[in-house]
Structures are given as C-alpha cells and as structure tokens.
Amino acid sequence: MFDNIRADFNAHGRDAGAQGFWAMVVYRFGRWRYGVRPALLRKLCSFIYKVLYKIIQIITGIELPCEAIVGRNFVIDHFGGIIVSGYARFGDNCRIRNGVVVGLQRVEEPVAPVIGNNVDIGAGAKLLGPIKIGDNSIIGANAVVIEDVPENSIAIGVPAVVKPRRQQSTAASSS
C-alpha cells in the first residue's frame, strides 16, 4: 500500500494538497484492507474506509470505489464530478480529468470499460458499457464512447468517432 501511495504522490507532482491524490490514498487503503487479518480488525478498517470514502466523495466530487482496479501512476487531474464504476479496470499511467464518467451502459449489464495503459481521458468524457480502450489512446473532452477504441487512437465527439493517432515525426523541419 505505501509503495503505491508513494508512487501516486509522485504522479500527482508531489503535491499533498492535490485532491486527486487524496482520493488515491483512500482508494489504496480500501484495496489494502482486504488483506487485513484478523476479521475483526478488517471490519474496523472497512468502517474507516467507508467513512473516508464518503468524506472524499463529498469534499472532492470524486467517486473511486476500491472495487475498481487501478494501475500504477493513475492521475486524477482537475477534481470534481468524477464517477468510476466498481467494475472498471485501468492500466498503468492513465490520466482522467473533471466530469469523467467510467461506468455501466445499462444497470442490468454490470460490465464497465477496461482501459489500457497510457490512456488520457479528457474533461467531461463518458466511457460506458463493456468496451475496451487500447493502450496509448486519447479520449477527447466531452466524448461519449460506447464502442471499443483500438490502440494508438483518438476518440472524439458524441457519439465518439475513432481515428488513428498521428505519429509525431522525430525530424524537425528547419525553415
């Protein structure tokens, strides 16, 4: 737990006041408590987690349940209005911004998006349902994504249109 919190601290620019970092500390504690023995101590930790989770939810507007799976270096930029389903999965080095929803498309179908590594999710984006977001993809601001996004792609618009990312050239033009 402490190694993950240290990595989250670094990923949030070593800013202990970053509200995204606060949410990550509570998230990491929530995941850690599953392994606590004996059961009575685990129940105490669960109570503490639930209180901290609700406080973070009210103060920051970030809903990141410990049931979701989040990789290393997960960054929550510009807190507020962020809702992540407990069924969601994130790879390493992902970044989300304010107003993002990662959740279910239908209540009867409890399947949320699986997000790969190095994915950048813009402000106000909505990722819904049993979809996969490939590695190194960008989800544009306010995009509504309800279909898979392949690796190295950009998804923009409502509903999202997927386009391949342009590779940046290594040779700079000299003019």
Q: What is the CATH number of the domain that holds 18?
A: 2.160.10.10
170 falls within a domain: no
The answer, yes or no, to whether residue 173 has pLDDT greater than 80, is: no
Among 4-13, 18-27, 56-65, 163-172, the least confident range: 163-172
Average confidence score pLDDT of the chain: 93
172 falls within a domain: no
Structural domains in the chain (count): 1
The answer, yes or no, to whether residue 174 has pLDDT greater than 80, is: no
174 falls within a domain: no
Give the residue-averaged pLDDT of 37-65. 97
Q: Residue 38: is the preceding peptide bond cis (ω within 30°)?
A: yes
Q: Quick one: pLDDT at residue 168? A: 64
157 falls within a domain: yes
Which residues fall within 8 angstroms of residue 15, CB to CB, at 6 or more apart? 21
94 falls within a domain: yes
Rounded CA gap, 43 and 79, in Å? 29
The reply to whether 78 belongs to the active site is: yes
pTM for this model (two decimals): 0.89
Domain range for 33:
1-164
Q: Quick one: pLDDT at residue 148? A: 97
Catalogue the E-assigned strands of 80-172.
82-84, 89-90, 95-96, 101-103, 114-115, 120-121, 126-128, 132-133, 138-139, 144-145, 153-156, 161-164
Give the residue-averaged pLDDT of 75-104. 95
Label residue 175 by pLDDT band (50, 70, 90).
very low
Q: What digits encode the pLDDT tens for the residues 132-150?
A: 999 999 999 999 999 999 9
The answer, yes or no, to whether residue 73 has pLDDT greater than 60, is: yes
Nearest to 62 by CA among 97, 107, 114, 17: 97
Q: Out of 42, 72, 78, 163, which one is annotated catalytic?
A: 78
Give the residue-averaged pLDDT of 58-71. 96
Q: What digits encode the pLDDT tens for the residues 19-31?
A: 999 999 999 999 9
Label residue 60 by pLDDT band (50, 70, 90).
very high
Residue with tokens 């990491």: 28
169 falls within a domain: no
Residue with tokens 């410990």: 66
Q: Provide, rounded to the nearest whole percent, the portion of the chain with pLDDT above 90.
A: 90
- Residue 26, token pair as written in the block: 């509570």
How many other CB atoms are found less than 10 A from the CB of residue 81? 16
